[in-house]
Amino acid sequence: MQPILQLQEMKLVGISCRTNNDHIFESDPSINKIAATVQKYFYETLAEKILHRKKPGTTYCAYTNYESDFTGDYTFFIGEEVKSFENVLTEFRTLTIPIQNYAKFTNGPGPMPEVCIDMWKKIWAMSSSEIGGDRGYITDFEVYDERAHDHQNVTLDIYIGLKK
């Protein structure tokens, strides 16, 4: 069983797309919406335009607005945590991650995107008892901090939201 943490509400500003897990394994950016959204975020240095950044350089990738579970459509969101939604630029979206219990997973270092995809495959294959409870499918997220600066040696945390 994974460590279970209760996290406080977080406010994120960034960009998003609607997708599903069938598309994340496609190398074609017109199909793999997550890859296209991540590329846009970093190539256009969008983080630099986000106001009220709480931890500049720490990127959050969130999965929310689930249609059903990990097999259905969901919203992918990439951005940074902010102190306030005041004066958010029109090119951005906002996301509030609610107070929730989470199972925390930390991977060993490896190259992106394989290290992330491999971790998700393991999570999808786990039972509720291995995760630490039933998944809530409200919001799950990844945290990319200073341990992710070398894209060939990334360590990241994945937080899986649990039902109350």
CATH number at 90 reads 3.20.80.10
The number of distinct structural domains making up the chain is 1
The answer on pLDDT for 110 being more than 90 is yes
More confident residue, 37 or 164: 37
List the domain range (segments joined by +) for residue 119. Answer: 4-161
Q: What SS3 class is residue 31?
A: coil
Give percent of the chain above pLDDT 70.
95
Residue 141: closest CA among 49, 16, 48: 16
Q: How far is CA 95 from CA 45, 52, 76, 82, in A?
A: 19, 14, 11, 10
- 8-12, 66-70, 139-143: which range is least confident on average? 66-70
pTM value is 0.93
Contact present, 5 and 60 (Cβ < 8 Å): no
The answer on pLDDT for 23 being more than 70 is no
Q: Tell me how far apart the alpha carbons of residues 104 and 112 are, in angstroms, rounded to a whole number.
A: 19
66 bridge partner residues:
none
